[in-house]
Amino acid sequence: MNAGFRLLRSTTPAPRRLVRVAAWSAVECLPALVSGVAVAHAVDALTSGRPSASTLWLAAIAAAMVVGAAATRRLYAAMSPLVEDLRDGLMTATVRGTLAECARTGRPGAATVTQTIEQVDQVRNLVSAVLRSFRSTVVPLASACIGLLLLDHRLGLAALVPLAAALALQSLLVPRTVRRQRHAALAQEAFGADTAAVLADLPPLRGLGADTWGRERLLSGADAVAVAELRVVRTTALRQAVIALGAHVPLLSVLLVSLPLLRDGSLSAGAVVGATTYVLTVLAPAVSSFVAVSGGWVVELVVLLDRLALVAGRPGPESGSARTPSQPTQGYAVELRDVAFAYRPESRPVLTGLDLRVRRGEHVAVLGASGTGKSTLARLFAGLEAPTSGTVHAAEGLCFVPQEAYVFAGTLRENLLHLDPNVAEARLREAVAVFGLDDLADRLCGLDGEIRSHDERLTAADRQRVVLARAWLSPAEVVVLDEATSLLPLSDDEAVEAAFTVDGRTLVTIAHRVDVARRAGTVVYFDGADVHTGRHAELLDAHDAYRDLHRHAALYAH
Amino acid sequence: MRTTTWRLAPTWALTTVGLSALAALASLAVPRLVGQSLDRVTTGGDAGESLVRLAAVLVVVSLCSAGTGLSSGAYAARVTQRLRARAIASVTDREARRVTSAGDLATRLLVDAAQPAAALGIAISITLAAATLVIGLVSIALIEWWVLVGLLLGLVALVMVVRRFVADSTPSLEAYRAGQARIADRALDAQRGAASIQAHRTWLTEAERVLTPLDGVRAAGRSLWDLQGRMAWRSGVFVPAALLVTVAVGGVSLARGRISAGELAALIGYTTLVIGSLDGIEAAAGLASVRVGTRRLAHITTAIAAAPRRGASPSAPRGAVAVTLSGASAWTDGTDAEPTVTDPVDLTVGAGRVATLSGPAALTGAVARLASGAATPAAGRVLVDGIPLRSLAPDAHVAALAGARPALLGDTVAGLLTIGLAGIDREAVRSAAAAAHIDHVIEALPEGYDTPLADLALSGGELQRLGIAQALLHGSGLLVLEEATSSLDSATELEVVRAVAGTRGQRTVLIASGRPALVAIADDSIDVTSASRCLPPARVTVGSMESENDDGLILTGEPR
């Protein structure tokens, strides 16, 4: 709850705006404040034959009403930036929180982002409803109390005692409502997460003929949401008791109390009419609104902010990289000295005692079977993992391209310029030509053609081409490609490598296609737990396993 | 659809209507009873009886209001649940074409499905408001008809304001929702690109990019506020004017002795009721949301309504099946924009054979999805052992597809492998994992096959092998691999495909892959060549060594 309010405060820029909303709400209620008193006086003046006094009282009401109506307009103008800023702030904080977690873990995390966005919108609606309710709750409650006491303190007390009891009862009911509402919110979230996950994985589910499973899963989620919501609904029945106590009992008690007072002449008929006017027209609606707002909207708001604070508060990656900040020796792009690495202290180390130096402008190929630590090596280069022991030095501005080809909804141009938005048009065109993206650009109707989320017009190979071109357009001097050409025709590999190395960049390719070794200056070969480094020819001579790998691949290619 | 929403929970709907009507009627009696009590009180008469009557009516109001709260809440929960169930059934139905992105679908299921339930409440508000209005006005006329004249003048103007708002706000609301859906889509995309975002350290710029549509959302939001403000202001002018008319005219009548003080109080009470009923009419503003929600939901439910129903074939073929595509084509793009269809394909693969598909990835992918039943043909037929694939019961599990990425659903690794299957023993799971060369990886996990998916950190190649094991368990007669080994190194790929093909005879295997090397393992190699969309459809048949059709298009299917 505290975290929720901290989030609210950090995203609401100026508390002064809140004051402005409250002030206009109060002005807006001016007619409500004066109506009872003015009506009483106007009626008394008329019955006692003083029409001019009566007219003055009516004029007072009229003036108050005009001011009130004008204030309404100002109120909306004051609320609009407040609420929209709040929504922007919450949206930004939660989207950042979501991506911070992705950046920290390198994994997608729970697919609840649709839900989160919806919750932000609910907060927006709730906050504006609560703000708007000032004029129907707090202000009229206060003005009715003051008005009743001013009119006649005996009648005032008759109305206010049950009102106080009603407010006390409401404060007892709210915590229980908060609990049930929180439960409902959790059910909603679970359903939202399931919905996003199942819908995103619907194609593979259909491939397995397991779509019925997905359907059952979603249906049971929707059922759970309904059950939780019904529990919340049941608490609302109790609210009516508060309304009866705060709105209906005061009406009866005012009439009862006035009976003897009228008889002994210490109370005017106008005062009774005025008091009932206050109770009926100001107090009763205000109590209903207050109960609805505090037991409904405020509760939902507390629960939602609580949930959103969890998302917004997710930590990002540790600042900087896991790598030792020092630069490699002059003339080298990456240096590893006696590096060992294990994912967990107790697990088998992936790398031990590894020494490796990559010269600037060199093309290094990393080969070996799956699961031998090739990708770990790339992550060490990129500073995404810290070595368990030893040191890693790498040049600034190293661009690591992971296996998954990340193409996002947006134009093809945006996707290509993702790592450097300032690339010249000519170079962009060159990238399109070099990486064979002309065909894709045609299908998308140009570089500014929109790529949609899950766009089926893009093949997996298209995505790899986009990602390769993106890395090529980045300013990085050192590029590390992890299986980045796996879906391209074999014949494209050489052109891709040449494109990267031609202007003197350092290229490290992690590949399962062994052909790359012939073209690389240095080969790093992961042979089980051993790592051998050398030129292709040297390794062919020195290691039987390496020779077998190439012989096998040659057979396999035909 | 709007007119039938209430039928989804008719009892709750009727209870809500009945109780709200009763509560409203009782509320209407309150001002007159207060007036009577006041007159008795001020004239020194016996007020006891009228006070008891007033108290009784107030109790009725409370009870009915409480009941209304309960039943309307129950109605909303039930209707939303049933609408969601209907929409879920539609979007998960394999006959249904995907009409929009996953993120947008999720928004529709979560948000838009919650909207139509509000329609009943709004309808009741409007009806009751209208009734209250009429009764209030009649009561006013009975006491002092001059007051009525003043009130009526303002009413007409107000109704026009409200109607205007509903019409004006619909486009802004739609823009607002669409902007939100775009942010959701981008955020989901970015989540999938987590590894890249981590590698490039771009999460802050990515957040900015994801939030780009926020400007549009903000603009739409501001325009909604503006509209609301204008409406509130206009109605705000009316409300005070109405009260003023009542007090002034009523006061004069009181001075002239035409009405009593109690009647004046009743007049003010009824005027307040009339004004309050206008708030009920303001609820009509909510109709815009309901309309948008209903439309967006109907959009996905009608997509399925148009699709033909699946017939259930009495028996499913056992063991390896022959698969035939005859003039079969698939939708290539699942969006509203302009769904296009792939060229129709004819091919047959004999039972128990291993065949590779080559040709443009878009077409081999379509053939893979059609043959496995993952996609329903847009035209033509897909048959297994002569039985249309779509006529098989959903739980027949004859054919399965392993794609580039497996379905990562379920609670544990074993749950993921047997997702949607019943009665699979651990031994069967183990042997499928072994065939996909993933058994040793799973066994090395902290809890083996019972490792929760949340704790799973596997490489792309390991996930793909998991996907193959998954498909082996799900397709008893036909296994289709579509780029299912793309993340494996060549040695492992060959081993896995060999092992899968080693079950030759037990099941038919269809491989769609860009790797020509895999042809070596296959019995048949099918070139699903198809020229561009404007050329006549490709016709490919295994068995014809080489054929040249009338248009000079060379299409081959070479048996090996």
Query: Mean pLDDT across the stretch A30-47?
Result: 73
| A325: in domain | no
| A317: in domain | no
Residues of A in contact with B110 (CB under 8 A): 114-115, 118, 188, 191-192, 195
Q: Is the pTM of this model over 0.80?
A: no
Residues A527 and A471 in one domain: yes
Q: Which of residues A283, A312, A341 is at a domain's end?
A: A312
Whole-number Å distance between alpha carbons of A181 and A160: 31
Confidence of residue B314 (pLDDT cuts 50, 70, 90): low
Whole-number Å distance between alpha carbons of A9 and B63: 40
Question: Residue B510: beta bridge partners?
Answer: B355, B480
Question: For residue A59, what is the domain's CATH number?
Answer: 1.20.1560.10
Residues of A in contact with B407 (CB under 8 A): 201, 204-205, 207-208, 210
Contacts with B442 (C-beta within 8 Å, 6 or more apart), sequence order? B413, B433, B448, B449, B451, B466
In total, chain A counts a number of residues equal to 558
A529 and B CB contact within 8 Å: no
Q: What's residue A340's pLDDT? A: 87
- Pairing of the two strands B379-384 and B524-527: unpaired
Whole-number Å distance between alpha carbons of B444 and A354: 25
Q: What's residue A558's pLDDT? A: 44
Q: What's residue A111's pLDDT? A: 60
Residues of A in contact with B59 (CB under 8 A): 244
Residues A358 and A296 in one domain: no
Lowest mean pLDDT among A481-490, B164-173, B203-212, B436-445: B164-173
- For chain A, how far is it from start to end, CA to CA, in angstroms? 66
* Residue A539, CA distances (Å) to A520, A523, A545, A552 in order: 12, 8, 9, 16
Lowest mean pLDDT among A230-234, A533-537, B495-499: B495-499
Per the structure, the complete domain to which residue A538 belongs is given by 332-556
In total, chain B counts a number of residues equal to 560
| A264: in domain | yes
Residues A301 and A343 in one domain: no
Residues A262 and A341 in one domain: no
| A461: in domain | yes
Ranges of CATH 3.40.50.300 domains, chain B: 323-559
The per-residue pLDDT for range B198-228, each reduced to its tens digit, is: 888 888 889 998 998 999 999 998 888 888 7
Q: Which positions 218-237 of A are in contact with B (Cβ < 8 Å)? A: 218-219, 222-223, 225-226, 229-230, 232-234, 236-237
Residues A225 and A268 in one domain: yes
Contacts with A31 (C-beta within 8 Å, 6 or more apart), sequence order? A61, A64, A65, A68, B240, B243
Whole-number Å distance between alpha carbons of A288 and A292: 6
Q: What's residue B311's pLDDT? A: 57
Residues A301 and A345 in one domain: no
Nearest to B76 by CA among B104, B111, B116, B131: B116
Q: Which of residues A279, A312, A345 is at a domain's end?
A: A312
Mutate to test the interface with B, among A114, A263, A411, A455 (most CBs of B within 10 A): A114
| A22: in domain | yes
Q: Which fold has domain B2-305?
A: ABC transporter transmembrane region fold (1.20.1560)
The per-residue pLDDT for range B503-524, each reduced to its tens digit, is: 667 889 998 876 766 777 788 8
The per-residue pLDDT for range A65-121, each reduced to its tens digit, is: 778 878 888 888 888 888 898 899 999 999 999 999 888 888 777 667 877 888 898
Confidence of residue B556 (pLDDT cuts 50, 70, 90): very low
- Pairing of the two strands B508-512 and B354-358: parallel
Residues A223 and A365 in one domain: no
Q: What's residue B24's pLDDT? A: 84
Contacts with B48 (C-beta within 8 Å, 6 or more apart), sequence order? none
Closest Cβ–Cβ partner in B31, B61, B106 for A195: B106
Q: What's residue B51's pLDDT? A: 82
Confidence of residue A157 (pLDDT cuts 50, 70, 90): very high
Residues A386 and A299 in one domain: no
Is residue B19 pLDDT above 90, yes or no? yes
Phi-psi map region of A219: left, alpha, beta (phi>0 left; psi -120 to 50 alpha): alpha
| A324: in domain | no
* Interface touch B69/A103, C-beta < 8 Å: no
User: Sign of the C-alpha dihedral, residues B21, B26, B32, B35?
Assistant: negative
Contacts with B351 (C-beta within 8 Å, 6 or more apart), sequence order? B319, B320, B321, B322, B385, B477, B508
| A256: in domain | yes
Split into its structural domains, chain A has a count of: 2
Whole-number Å distance between alpha carbons of B140 and B273: 11
> Do the Cβ atoms of B399 and B371 come closer than 8 Å?
yes
Lowest mean pLDDT among B13-22, B301-310, B395-404: B301-310
Q: What's residue B558's pLDDT? A: 32
Is residue B283 pLDDT above 80, yes or no? no
Residues A295 and A342 in one domain: no
Is residue B338 pLDDT above 70, yes or no? no
Residue with tokens 């823009």: B175
What's chain A's Rg over C-alpha atoms? 36
Is residue B500 pLDDT above 50, yes or no? yes
Lowest mean pLDDT among A3-12, A289-298, A385-394, A428-437: A3-12
Q: Tokens for A50, please give them.
A: 């003083």
Q: Higher pLDDT residue, A555 or A429? A: A429
Query: Residue A87: how many CA atoms within 13 Å on its side-chain side?
Result: 28
* Interface touch A208/B474, C-beta < 8 Å: yes
The per-residue pLDDT for range B397-412, each reduced to its tens digit, is: 888 999 888 888 888 8
Q: What's residue B439's pLDDT? A: 85
Q: What does the CA dihedral B479, B485, B490, B492 come to, rounded to 10 degrees? A: -70
Question: For residue A393, what is the domain's CATH number?
Answer: 3.40.50.300
* Interface touch A251/B34, C-beta < 8 Å: yes
Q: What's residue B335's pLDDT? A: 46
The per-residue pLDDT for range B420-472, each reduced to its tens digit, is: 888 888 999 999 998 888 887 787 777 788 888 877 767 777 888 999 999 99
Residues A308 and A337 in one domain: no
pLDDT averaged over every residue in chain A: 84
Q: Which of residues A260, A277, A312 is at a domain's end?
A: A312
> Do the Cβ atoms of B523 and B355 come closer than 8 Å?
yes
Largest CA distance in chain A: 123
Q: What's residue A204's pLDDT? A: 85
Chain B closest-CA separation from residue A19 CA (Å): 19
Q: What's residue A274's pLDDT? A: 80
Is residue A240 pLDDT above 60, yes or no? yes
Q: What's residue B239's pLDDT? A: 64
What stretch of H or E contains B240? helix B214-255
pLDDT averaged over every residue in chain B: 78
How many Cβ atoms from other residues are within 10 Å of residue B395's Cβ? 13
Whole-number Å distance between alpha carbons of B317 and B320: 8
Query: Mean pLDDT across the stretch A469-475?
Result: 93
Q: What's residue B458's pLDDT? A: 75
Q: Tokens for A422, please give them.
A: 């300032």
Nearest to A451 by CA among A443, A202, B107: A443
The per-residue pLDDT for range A366-417, each reduced to its tens digit, is: 988 766 678 888 888 888 888 888 888 888 778 999 888 899 888 899 999 9
> Do the Cβ atoms of A69 and A30 come closer than 8 Å?
no
| A323: in domain | no
DSSP-derived secondary structure for B62-112: HHHHHHHHHHHHHHHHHHHHHHHHHHHHHHH-TTSPP-S-HHHHHHHHHTG
> Do the Cβ atoms of A349 and A286 come closer than 8 Å?
no
> Do the Cβ atoms of B97 and B339 come closer than 8 Å?
yes
Is residue B548 pLDDT above 50, yes or no? no
Query: Mean pLDDT across the stretch B484-493?
Result: 76
Is residue A146 pLDDT above 80, yes or no? yes
Nearest to B66 by CA among A376, A262, A292: A292
What's chain B's Rg over C-alpha atoms? 34
Residues A254 and A340 in one domain: no
Side chain identity at B389, as an amino acid letter? L
Q: Which positions 353-392 of A are in contact with B (Cβ < 8 Å)? A: 369-371, 375, 382, 384
Side chain identity at B26, as an amino acid letter? A
The per-residue pLDDT for range A307-316, each reduced to its tens digit, is: 888 888 888 7
Query: Mean pLDDT across the stretch B74-80?
Result: 92
CATH code for residues B323-559? 3.40.50.300
Q: Tokens for B178, please give them.
A: 């669409």
Whole-number Å distance between alpha carbons of B539 and B548: 10
Is residue A557 pLDDT above 70, yes or no? no
Whole-number Å distance between alpha carbons of A41 and A60: 11
The per-residue pLDDT for range B108-147, each reduced to its tens digit, is: 888 888 888 888 888 888 888 888 888 888 888 888 787 7
% pLDDT > 70, chain B: 81
* Interface touch B197/A99, C-beta < 8 Å: yes
Is residue A472 pLDDT above 90, yes or no? yes
> What's the helix, strand, coil split of chain A in %, to 5?
65, 10, 25
Q: What's residue B541's pLDDT? A: 37
In B99-229, beta strands by DSSP E: none
Side chain identity at B417, as an amino acid letter? L
* Pairs of CB atoms within 8 A across A/B: 487
Q: Tokens for A509, please give them.
A: 């390719």
> Do the Cβ atoms of A115 and B183 come closer than 8 Å?
no
Whole-number Å distance between alpha carbons of B200 and A400: 7
